[in-house]
């Protein structure tokens, strides 16, 4: 009786499952070799359907789960993409990360996120080392801001990496939105409405995207033979757009503003309303991003649409292409933008087109 009352015996009752079933357990129950079980669990061809069904039934009955970590170590394929980002405080970074995660999942890959507190070269190298310890197949760097201690991004050699939102396309694979094309379309739209020039509510000076939008805004005005007013700088937030808007509302010759993102445009709209400047009758406003709420602003915001989902897809596809070819890539891929015209832009005041 004492022996019977001891720990339950392996495989005791009907329908019982041995704890931590092994490949050998599956092989015995299915009447095949462990090698056949391995081929079935890894999806290899060359196993007839009857045998495959028998092995899969045995796996299910025993509750067997293949050791994916061991298989990954053996193959050197971890089915994981590392993502390094400096901030999750901006709409662009969050939506790009969401798109990367969604696209990776569709390809059967997981995502390991590693935020970097300070944008320095040493922090980036440290992040790559940590991701190496976590066993990832490739790395995507969401590089929105300039490094504080280096003019150029320098990554470990032979690394499979994709950089989003950067200018490193001569050394690494870069995926970016066509910032310049979207900005030119916004400026041309306002000039075509009869405005003499376009003021600019710029993003932070450390941002690659803000820099490219400012450069393209100035170039578009120069190409049209128009003077470029001094840009007013914000930090991407609606509050900074509001503060800048109070200044712009006091400029009597300001009839059109290109804001570097939609949140700052939202703050600008509030400031103009408080100062009695009507939109678009007195001042036309264009944003950039086309966030989901931009069509619900008052008035609905004309803006440049960014396809964050496509940016994420192309980042993942570039990363996996490097994994499958066992070779790094370089060069820049630009995802097109498009102007979405709503009610916040109109003809210049006192002019009939």
Distance of CA 321 to the CA centre of its chain: 18
Q: Is the Cα dihedral 223, 227, 230, 232 positive or negative?
A: negative
d(CA 291, CA 263): 9
pLDDT at res. 343: 98
Statement: residue 11 has pLDDT above 70? no
Tokens of 47: 């196993």
Check residue 106 and give its pLDDT. Answer: 92
- The whole-number pLDDT of residue 72 equals 52
Write the pLDDT tens digit of every residue in 300-330.
999 999 999 999 999 999 999 999 888 888 8
Q: Which pLDDT belongs to residue 269?
A: 98
What pLDDT score does 38 carry? Answer: 78
- Distinct helix (H) and strand (E) counts, the chain: 11, 12
Q: Which residues of 65-86 are buried (b: 16+ CB within 10 A; e: fewer)?
A: eeeeeeeeeeeeebbbbbbbbb
Q: What's the alpha-carbon Rg for the chain, to the nearest Å?
A: 28
Closest CA to 302 of 336, 266, 272, 339: 339
Note the pLDDT tens digit of each residue in 185-216.
999 999 999 999 999 999 999 898 999 999 99
Q: Are 160 and 137 in contact (CB under 8 A)?
A: yes
What separation in angstroms does the CA of 25 have from each of 40, 67, 71, 193, 252?
Answer: 14, 14, 18, 76, 82
pLDDT in tens, 102-112: 999 999 899 99
- Tabulate helix, strand, coil % of the chain (nearest 5): 40, 15, 45
Residue that wins the pLDDT comparison between 124 and 295: 295
pLDDT at residue 42, rounded to an integer: 65
d(CA 124, CA 126): 5
SS3 297: coil
Residue 67: predicted pLDDT: 60
Q: Is the pLDDT of residue 28 over 70?
A: yes
Give the pLDDT band (50/70/90) at residue 295: very high
pLDDT of 353 above 50: no
pLDDT tens-digit map of 239-253: 999 999 999 999 999
Mean pLDDT of the chain: 86
CB 256 within 8 A of CB 245: no
pLDDT in tens, 136-188: 899 999 987 777 556 667 777 777 899 997 767 788 899 999 999 999 999 99
pLDDT in tens, 67-76: 655 555 455 5
Give the model confidence (pLDDT) of 36-53 as tens digits: 887 787 666 678 889 988
Element (H, E) at 80: strand 80-85
Region of poorest pLDDT, from 12-26, 174-188, 249-263: 12-26
Q: Collect all residues with Cβ–Cβ distance below 8 Å to 201 and sequence separation of at least 6.
A: 231, 232, 233, 234, 241, 244, 245, 248, 257, 258, 259, 260, 264, 265, 268
pLDDT, position 196: 97
H, E, C per residue of 158-208: CCCEEEECCCCCCCCEEEEECHHHHHHHHHHHHHHCCCCCCEEEECCCCEH
Whole-structure pTM value: 0.77
257 pLDDT exceeds 50? yes
pLDDT recorded at residue 145: 79
Residues 65-103 pLDDT 10s: 766 555 554 555 788 999 999 888 788 889 999 999 999
Alpha-carbon torsion (156, 157, 158, 163), positive or negative:
positive
How many Å apart are CA 304 and CA 213, to the nearest integer? 11
Helix (H) or strand (E) holding 262: helix 262-274
């Amino acid at each position: 009786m004492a022996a019977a009352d001891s720990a339950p015996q392996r495989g005791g009752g009907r329908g019982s499952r041995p704890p931590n079933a092994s490949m050998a357990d599956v092989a015995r129950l299915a009447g095949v070799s462990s090698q056949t079980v391995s081929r079935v669990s890894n999806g290899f061809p060359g196993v007839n359907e009857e045998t495959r069904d028998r092995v899969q039934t045995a796996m299910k009955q025993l509750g067997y789960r293949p050791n994916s970590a061991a298989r990954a170590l053996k193959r050197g394929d971890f089915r994981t993409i590392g993502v390094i980002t400096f901030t999750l405080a901006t709409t662009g970074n969050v939506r790009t990360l969401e798109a990367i995660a969604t696209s990776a999942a569709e390809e059967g890959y997981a995502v390991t996120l590693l935020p970097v507190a300070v944008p320095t070269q040493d922090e980036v190298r440290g992040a790559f080392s940590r991701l190496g310890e976590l066993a990832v197949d490739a790395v995507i760097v969401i590089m929105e801001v300039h490094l504080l201690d280096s003019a150029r991004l320098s990554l470990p050699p032979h690394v499979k990496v994709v950089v989003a939102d950067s200018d490193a396309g001569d050394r690494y694979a870069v995926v970016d939105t066509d910032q310049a094309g979207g900005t030119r379309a916004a400026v041309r739209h306002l000039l075509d409405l009869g405005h003499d020039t376009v003021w600019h509510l710029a993003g932070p000076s450390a941002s690659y995207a803000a820099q490219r939008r400012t450069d393209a805004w100035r170039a578009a005005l120069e190409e049209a033979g128009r003077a470029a007013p001094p840009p007013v700088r914000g930090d991407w937030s609606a509050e900074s757009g509001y503060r800048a808007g109070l200044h712009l509302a006091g400029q009597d010759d300001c009839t059109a503003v290109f804001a570097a993102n939609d949140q700052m445009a939202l703050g600008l709209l509030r400031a103009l309303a408080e100062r009695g400047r009507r939109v678009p009758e007195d001042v036309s406003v264009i944003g950039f991003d086309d966030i989901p709420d931009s069509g619900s602003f008052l008035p609905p915001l004309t803006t440049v649409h960014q396809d964050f989902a496509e940016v994420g897809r192309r980042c993942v596809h570039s990363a996996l292409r490097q994994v499958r070819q066992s070779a790094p890539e370089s060069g820049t891929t630009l995802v097109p933008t498009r102007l979405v015209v709503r009610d916040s832009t109109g003809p210049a005041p006192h002019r009939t087109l």
